[in-house]
Structure 1
Amino acid sequence: MIELTLTELAAWSIGAAMVLVAFFAWISRWSNRNAERRSLRRRVACRLCLLVVEDEGRGRIFHCPHCGAANERGPNRSLG
């Protein structure tokens, strides 16, 4: 049988609680960071009216819901 004093039991309990809190804090931050990355990938800015929206569509062309302008997704900033 395992013999523990009251002091050792308290130390182990507090240590285990601290490890659990640190683990759940790490999981929460990781989850929040992933959600922010997904949100940034879906974010599209209209090049005419500068409205920024989150769009779930997969097409290369995005039509602005505010002004109706057709915008190309991605880093292509060519004029013309």
Structure 2
Amino acid sequence: MIDVTLTELAAWTIGIAMGIVVLFEWISRWSAAGAERRSLRKRVTCRLCLLVVEDEGRERTFRCPHCGADNERGRNKSLG
């Protein structure tokens, strides 16, 4: 039989509970970071009126719903 004092039992219980809380906190942060990455992939900024829209289309160009300008997806490094 295992001999455990009340102090040891309380310490183990608190330690295990704290470990579970830390584990769930890590899972929550990992999940939120993934959701933020997925949201950032869908965001498109109009280069004319600077409206930020989440668009799930796959076309290379995006038509702004506010001003109607055509914009390219991704980073455009051309000047002008």
Asked if TM exceeds 0.5, the reply is yes
Which residue matches 2:21? 21
Which residue matches 2:63? 63
- Distance in 2 (alpha carbons) for counterparts of 1:60 and 1:68: 16
For residues 1-80 of structure 1, the aligned pairs below 5 Å read 1-79=1-79
SS at 1:9 equivalent:
helix
Bigger mean CA deviation after superposition, 21-30 or 70-79: 70-79
- Distance in 2 (alpha carbons) for counterparts of 1:10 and 1:2: 15
CA RMSD of aligned residues (A): 1.3
Q: What amino acid does structure 2 have at the position aligned with 1:42?
A: K
SS at 1:2 equivalent:
coil
- Distance in 2 (alpha carbons) for counterparts of 1:47 and 1:12: 58
TM-score, normalization by structure 1 = 0.91
TM-score, normalization by structure 2 = 0.91
1:58 Cα deviation from its structure 2 partner: 1.0
1:37 Cα deviation from its structure 2 partner: 0.9
1:79 Cα deviation from its structure 2 partner: 4.8
List, as ranges, runs of 4+ consecutive aligned residues in structure 1 with deviation greater than 6 Å.
none
Instruction: Name structure 2 gaps, 5 residues minimum.
Output: none
Q: What amino acid does structure 2 have at the position aligned with 1:72?
A: E
Percent identity over the alignment is 75
- Distance in 1 (alpha carbons) for counterparts of 2:58 and 2:38: 14
| Aligned residue-pair number | 80
